Amino acid sequence: MLRRSDEIVKVFRPVGRSSKFVKIKASQKAKRRLRKLSLAEAGFLLKITPYASEGTNLLEGDNERGQRGVPLTVKDLACIADCSYPTARKIVRAFIAERILRRVEIDGRTALAINPLYSFNGKSAETSLLQLFKWEITEAGEDPNSE
């Protein structure tokens, strides 16, 4: 789905549920970042993005994969991305090193959040997400809420 000439929005329509819109950042800087990913990494990111919670980008279950509102594990992400656990673990580690994902503690559980410079779910980022990726956003010179 193309909304503007410089913006791509992927529409996911899971069976029996309403559509979910997830914005894939399409600025020139974001395109350069995405081109650096291998095909496996880009596919993995595209497949896990619909599980990002609105406003916080935390990867959480939806009652089909994992329990709703509960952080997804790397094993869950492997199932979602249709890859082996070792492959998913390797990609998650690479994404954390590349600052695409970040681990965060929530209610005693570890969750993964997607950097809003790569993909964002929702109309505006919550303060907690902006604080989590503050350094990356400042370094990139971008505003994740800009349309």
Q: What is the mean pLDDT of each run of 10 residues along the chain (147 residues)?
A: 53 54 67 86 91 90 84 94 96 94 89 89 84 85 62
- Under DSSP, the state recorded for 49 is G
Q: Which domain holds residue 49?
A: 2-140
Residue 38: partners with Cβ closer than 8 Å, 6 or more residues away:
none
Full-model pTM? 0.76
Q: Are strands 7-12 and 101-106 parallel, antiparallel or unpaired?
A: unpaired
Answer yes or no: is 146 within a domain: no
User: Do the domain assignments include residue 147?
Assistant: no
Indicate whether 131 belongs to any domain.
yes
DSSP code of residue 68: B
Question: Which CATH number covers residue 74?
Answer: 1.10.10.10
SS3 104: strand
- What is the reported pLDDT for 130? 86
- The domain total for the chain is 1
Residue 145 lies in a domain: no
Domain membership of residue 36 (yes or no) is yes
Angle of CA points 130, 135, 140, to nearest 5°? 95
* Rounded-to-integer distance, Cα 28 and Cα 15, Å: 34
Identify the pLDDT of residue 22.
Answer: 61
